[in-house]
Structure 1
Amino acid sequence: MSVADIFDRVASRYDSVGVDFFTPLAAALIAAAAPKPGEHVLDAGCGRGAALLASAEAVGPTGHVTGIDFAPGMVSRTAAATAGLPQVTVQWGDAQAPDFPTASFDLVTAALVLFFLPDPPAALRNHRALLRPGGRLAFSSFAAHDPRYPATLRLLSSFAPAPPERPSLHAMFNSPETLREATTAAGFAHTETTEVSVESTFTDATQLVRWIGSHMGSQVIESIPESQRPEATAAVSTSHEWPMTLTTRVNLTVASMTTPVS
């Protein structure tokens, strides 16, 4: 199953199980990108619109934000949710190679998206081509998961006859230094990467398993036979103390076409 298929299947429950994660991280990314009133923004891989809505508020009625996503379910739901915002357009599109004329945008954002793409360095070059002079690219990527999160995935996977393989990330996501090297190679003049943390609190194992099943982790949940999912959830329940708060560290990278004047 492709990444687009997975996100299409979870679109109805994505970022909607009562857990703070995607929205605060998207808000932090947009704060770092600092969209200005009147600017034109492309949100690549917009999902259910966390970063898109934050950008729309920043650019105001004189600006415009275009959101694209490869999952039709995300597109239809986010388009419906933003129908009352004239400065927002949501449409199907490929974050790897967005189909827009060169120099169309002042800012391109990609919130926890680039590492899913088949060729992240090529995506950086494609995104740069869409920027106007002085434009910038802002994207987020994981710095470190709370150790209890991969431990929970391993525990759940033990109930699956054929658990999915954990995908390996491109080397550009290894560190702030490799992120800077990648953006420089893509033609950006200046890059700043900052690390932020988000705390996500889960009342019990049922909520944690529901949350895992609401994003890319759903492939783990769906690999467990339905008859064994209660037992798998019970195992998660006994393996942690509740409520449980997971701390996730994320890198926010802003790459600019020009070097700021000091």
Structure 2
Amino acid sequence: MGERFGAASAGGYDRGFGHVSRAFVPALLRAARMTSGQRVLDVASGTGIAAEAAVERVGPSGHVVATDLFPAMLDKARERLGHLPNVSFAVEDGQALTFPKEGFDAVICAMGLMLFPDPARGLAEFRRVLRPGGWAAASVNTTPERAFATRVDAAIGRHAPERAATGARYFSLGDAERLRSLFEAARFRGVETFTEARRFPFPSFDAYFAPIEEGQGPTGQAFASLPAELRRVVREEVRNQLSGNVEGSTGPVDVEVELLFVCGRR
């Protein structure tokens, strides 16, 4: 999966999909009980969208450490935030963090936990680096029918069996009870889950699909790598989903996106 988060996909992520990620970040920060002056760890920071909001929330007396497993993603976060004095960056594996125990007031992970090979191990690390009473919060996809770009990954998996595991991983933690049980097994207290849904309107399906067709972001890179006929099939399947199976529809489409949030206290 590492190639999905290289320089090419990192460069296009913000342009095509950053506005969607940004819309859900406030809920994540609320779930982490983030306040002024805190020291915050952002795991799987990607291009730094959640870290940027966290910096604003903790203010000049706080500090945010943005981490990611993929250097190309972290380079984009540096471009976004590197001028700020209260942000630092580190290439880190969320399942084997190098930070000492009890060093952070809050840990956040926006749309990354479902991609961990072993989410339970990652949550154990989140708890280890949290100070007593600190909160960890994560957001994940729910279902392909309520996803923004990764609904395309699910469609790719349905038509290219060798890609099915990648498509399924994006939705592997979409069940609230499973996510709650993972947090509780990691010995978090007061575990809560909730969903938030938003609609993103587009003047046409083509307007929605253009960034993917241009190869922007990890999903766009996956789509671009398909043979031409398979690209056509996947594109039409997603078009049918969003247009209510109205053949030849060229009108506006609304893309419904739902995320599942979970949080717990050390």
* Secondary structure at 2:131 match in 1: strand
Q: CA deviation at 1:191?
A: 0.5
Aligned to 1:246: 255
Q: CA deviation at 1:233?
A: 8.3
Matches within 5 A, 1:90-101: 90-101=89-100
Q: 1:161 to 1:24 in 2, by over 3 A?
A: closer
Q: Is the 8 A contact 2:48 2:74 kept in 1?
A: no
Partner Cα separation in structure 2 for residue 207 and residue 254 of structure 1: 35
Structure in which a larger fraction of residues adopt helix: 2
Q: Is the 8 A contact 1:156 1:232 kept in 2?
A: no
Q: How far does the alpha carbon of each residue in 1:174-213 deviate from its partner, in whole angstroms, 9 at most, with x for none?
A: 5222222211110112111111012223333444334444
Q: CA deviation at 1:173?
A: 2.2
Q: Is the 8 A contact 1:189 1:256 kept in 2?
A: yes
Identity of aligned residues (%): 26
Aligned to 1:5: 3
Partner Cα separation in structure 2 for residue 22 and residue 185 of structure 1: 28
Structure 2, unpaired ranges of 5+? 244-248
Partner Cα separation in structure 2 for residue 251 and residue 235 of structure 1: 28
Matches within 5 A, 1:76-225: 76-146=75-145, 164-167=163-166, 168-169=168-169, 173-212=173-212, 213-218=215-220, 220-225=222-227
Aligned to 1:256: 265
Matches within 5 A, 1:220-235: 220-225=222-227, 231=232, 235=236
Q: CA deviation at 1:76?
A: 1.1
Partner Cα separation in structure 1 for residue 144 and residue 155 of structure 2: 16
Number of equivalent positions: 253
Partner Cα separation in structure 1 for residue 47 and residue 17 of structure 2: 14
Q: CA deviation at 1:34?
A: 2.8
Q: How far does the alpha carbon of each residue in 1:37-79 deviate from its partner, in whole angstroms, 9 at most, with x for none?
A: 1100000011111110111101000000000111211111211
Q: Is the 8 A contact 1:21 1:199 kept in 2?
A: no
Q: CA deviation at 1:161?
A: 7.3
Q: Is the 8 A contact 1:41 1:105 kept in 2?
A: yes
Q: 1:98 to 1:157 in 2, by over 3 A?
A: closer
Partner Cα separation in structure 2 for residue 253 and residue 63 of structure 1: 23
Which stretch has the larger CA shift, 109-118 or 209-218? 209-218
Partner Cα separation in structure 1 for residue 122 and residue 169 of structure 2: 14
Q: Please give the root-mean-square deviation of Cα atoms over the aligned residues, in Å.
A: 3.0
Q: Normalized against structure 2, the TM-score is what?
A: 0.82
Q: 1:202 to 1:229 in 2, by over 3 A?
A: farther
Residue 7 of structure 1 aligns with an amino acid whose one-letter code is F
